[in-house]
């Protein structure tokens, strides 16, 4: 049986708008919405910053993988927003690319810093130089992000414009079962 790309999967660094775009896409398409970070928080009943503090990043990444597997296993199309580091795990990439139209919400370091500078809920930015950390993370992750089926530069675009661009690449008709 051939596996079809059922889902719209959003990838990109923190601050790229995956959650906002994902919620709006789900509303526009009447698809279910999954945010893997929120799923981890719900399962652990703790914010991600607390999960990192108590259990470390490695445990968070294990939980993230479990939530990605759960989200992509949905049999009806859905919009899935992933955590920024999800693409670093090859098993996550395999699941996401096999089951979804993978969309990279591409932003430059300056825009990402501007969007995340005051957010205390980003454990990877709890550092003396958060902008340098964003640059470092983007450099490490960009080769994986750029493997996406669709790259959408987000600078100078609002959420509606980004959704419109994604939906131009998403089949309007998914077949008789949808």
Q: What is the pLDDT of residues 45-73, one digit of tens each?
A: 999 889 988 999 899 999 999 999 999 99
2 has a pLDDT exceeding 60: no
pLDDT score of 177: 45
Mean pLDDT of 158-174: 84
Task: Tell me the CA distances in angstroms from 5 to 8, 19, 62, one per residue in order.
Answer: 8, 20, 24
Does any domain span residue 39? yes
**Does any domain span residue 119?**
yes
Q: What is the pLDDT of residue 61?
A: 94
Q: Is the pLDDT of residue 121 over 90?
A: no
Cβ(89)–Cβ(61) below 8 Å: yes
Q: So what's the pLDDT on residue 129?
A: 78
Lowest-confidence range among 96-105, 120-129, 132-141? 120-129
176 confidence band (pLDDT: 50, 70, 90): very low
pLDDT, residue 172, reads: 46
In a domain, 101, yes or no: yes
Q: Is residue 174 a part of any domain in this protein?
A: no
Question: Would you state the pLDDT for residue 178?
Answer: 41
Look at the chain and report how many structural domains it folds into. 1
pLDDT score at 128: 64
What is the pLDDT of the chain when averaged over all its residues?
88
pLDDT of residue 133: 86
- DSSP labels, 28-81: HHT-EEEEHHHHHHHHHTS-HHHHHHHHHHHHHHHHHHHHHHHHHT-SS-EEEE
Q: Find the farthest-apart pair of alpha carbons in the chain and give their distance in angstroms, rounded.
A: 54
- Is 172 part of a structural domain of the chain? no
What global pTM score does this model have?
0.89
The DSSP bridge pattern shows strands 100-106 and 78-81 to be unpaired
Res 28 pLDDT > 60 = yes
Res. 108: pLDDT tops 80: yes
Spatial separation of the C-alpha atoms in residues 8 and 174, rounded to whole Å: 12
User: 91 lies in which domain range?
Assistant: 7-166
Residue 171 lies in a domain: no
CATH of the domain at 155: 3.40.50.300
Mean pLDDT of all residues in 106-134:
76
Report yes or no on 60 lying in a domain: yes
Neighbour tally for 156: CB within 10 Å: 7
Is residue 173 one of the residues assigned to a domain? no
């Amino acid at each position: 049986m051939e596996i079809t790309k059922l889902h719209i999967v959003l990838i990109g660094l923190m601050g790229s708008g995956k959650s906002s775009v994902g919620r709006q896409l789900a509303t526009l398409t009447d698809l279910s919405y999954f945010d893997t970070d929120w799923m981890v928080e719900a399962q652990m009943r703790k914010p991600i910053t607390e999960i990192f503090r108590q259990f470390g990043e490695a445990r968070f990444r294990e939980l993230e993988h479990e939530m990605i597997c759960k989200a992509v296993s949905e049999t009806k199309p859905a919009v899935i927003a992933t955590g920024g580091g999800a693409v670093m795990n090859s098993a996550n990439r395999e699941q996401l690319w096999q089951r979804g139209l993978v969309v990279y919400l591409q932003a430059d370091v300056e825009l990402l810093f501007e969007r995340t500078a005051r957010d205390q809920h980003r454990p990877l930015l709890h550092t003396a130089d958060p902008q340098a950390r964003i640059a470092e993370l983007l450099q490490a992750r960009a080769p994986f992000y750029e493997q996406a089926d669709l790259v959408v530069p987000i600078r100078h675009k609002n959420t509606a414009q980004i959704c419109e661009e994604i939906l131009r690449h998403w089949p309007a008709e998914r077949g008789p079962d949808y």
